[in-house]
Copies of this chain bind each other. A is one copy, B any other.
Amino acid sequence: MYSEKDLTALKDFYTDQLLNNTVPFWFPRSFDEEHGGFLLMRDADGGLIDDDKAVWIQGRATWMLATLYNTVEQKPEWLEGARLGYEFLNRHCFDSDGQMFFHVTRDGQPIRKRRYFFSETFYVIAAAAYAKASGDEQAAANARRVFGKCIEYATTPGLLSPKFTATRPSKGIGVPMIMMNTAQQLRETIGDIRCDEWISRWITDIERYFVKDDIRCVMEQVASDGSIIDHIDGRTLNPGHAIEGAWFILHEAKYRNNDPHLIDLGCRMLDYMWERGWDKEFGGILYFRDVFDRPVQEYWQDMKFWWPHNETIIATLLAFLMTGKSKYAEWHQLVHEYAYSHFPDKEQGEWFGYLHRDGSIAQTAKGNLFKGPFHLPRQEWYCMKALEIKPGVISKN
């Protein structure tokens, strides 16, 4: 159980890590003053291993910088960085059909486009946060316009070319999750009247189709009617991802004056996937599990990646702050201690991204096509902010 003093110490810890370790690892050295955007693919010592730009991470870094500016301190460096990122996204990351690329060169030539619209969702949160930071009306209009396109992609079957045939229709939890968080960010920066209704719909989707109380599980994908697809891919669970979904829902519960149904839903999701994801032998969150404990095909299934730990630190802390239940404090302490004792590079700052199951470091990159200044600084920022407000609801339990 955490005391008020423990919580204050945690707040100070996350604040210090964020501002004196994580953010300074990345910025300002990653600003690309020549071509715009950020140079984020870096080795342990910060040396550049690739000057390409991952569009997801360009958007996420823009969001992070603008969010720090909006909510922590109006540092000109952060606003300037957000502007660099936002302008690079506008100038180089949209294809002529309006879809965004996934991977571009340093000077913005396209390398790869994917059949998803996650580049677009990260653009929305980047443009919205930048619009709030800068007062740029065009950025606000762009955020709203691309958000509308994301809704269209999410709700119009066949609009994006599919990776699979129609033989075995399935849907993933990723789309409602990321759309919910995109809408939350849009709402909480520049506001948009569509957000509340869409968030409710996506939460209903998640609860109806993906959360399985009978087997205590959150599915990563299901058939159109929500049934489990009993094949390797259909059975594959992503505990860290489902736990990220849990805290998006707890965040919504908080926004809606501690809506008890949403608190219960978020906590159920966390409970189920903690049970399935926490590695009782070595500690840490396993990357994939099979719903029926069969072998998982993805090769890295039992590795420990940085980001599921960031999501679980947020989810367990938020669950504790909103319910006061001691088990969430215990889980938070477990995952926090596992994460901060295994992932950080004590010499050169920030976290390693990829550990073997036993906690040893699998490789040293701090940034690549998928890792950059997002999950870790977002966690430290979110936890710091969540702990700023004295948790009134905490009860003995």
Contact = CB atoms under 8 A, between A and B. Distances in A.
Interface of A: 41, 43, 49-52, 105, 109-113, 163-165, 167-168, 231-232, 294-297, 299-303, 305, 354, 356-358, 362-365, 368-370
Contacts of A356: 356-358
A299 B110 contact: no
Nearest to A290: B49
Contact of A297 (B109, B163, B302, B365): B365
A231 to B, nearest CB: 5
Nearest to A101: B165
Interface of A is mostly: loop
B113 A165 contact: yes
A167 B109 contact: yes
B52 A368 contact: no
Given A105-B167, A232-B368, A357-B356, A299 B297 contact: no
A52 B234 CA distance: 12
Contacts of A165: 109-113
A229 B288 CA distance: 32
8 contacts: A43-B294, A51-B231, A52-B232, A110-B167, A232-B369, A299-B303, A299-B305, A299-B362
Contacts of A362: 299, 301-302, 357
A302 B168 contact: no
Copies in the complex: 2
A299 B354 contact: yes
Closest 8 CB pairs of A and B: A299-B300, A295-B365, A295-B363, A109-B167, A110-B165, A50-B232, A297-B368, A50-B231
Contacts of A294: 43, 49
A50 B294 CA distance: 10
Contacts of A41: 232
Nearest to A164: B112
Contacts of A354: 299
Nearest to A232: B50
Contacts of A296: 363
Nearest to A292: B49
A207 to B, nearest CB: 28
Contacts of A299: 299-300, 303, 305, 354, 362
Nearest to A168: B111
A52 B164 CA distance: 14
A293 to B, nearest CB: 11
Contacts of A302: 362-363
A298 to B, nearest CB: 9
A351 to B, nearest CB: 14
Contacts of A364: 295
A288 B295 CA distance: 23
A49 B291 CA distance: 12
Given A49-B295, A111-B167, A301-B362, 11 more contacts: A43-B295, A49-B294, A52-B231, A52-B232, A109-B168, A111-B165, A112-B163, A232-B369, A297-B365, A299-B299, A299-B305
A25 to B, nearest CB: 16
A51 B393 CA distance: 51
Contacts of A110: 165, 167
B297 A300 contact: no
Contacts of A50: 231-232
Nearest to A303: B299
Nearest to A105: B167
A364 to B, nearest CB: 5
A167 B52 CA distance: 12
A110 B164 CA distance: 9
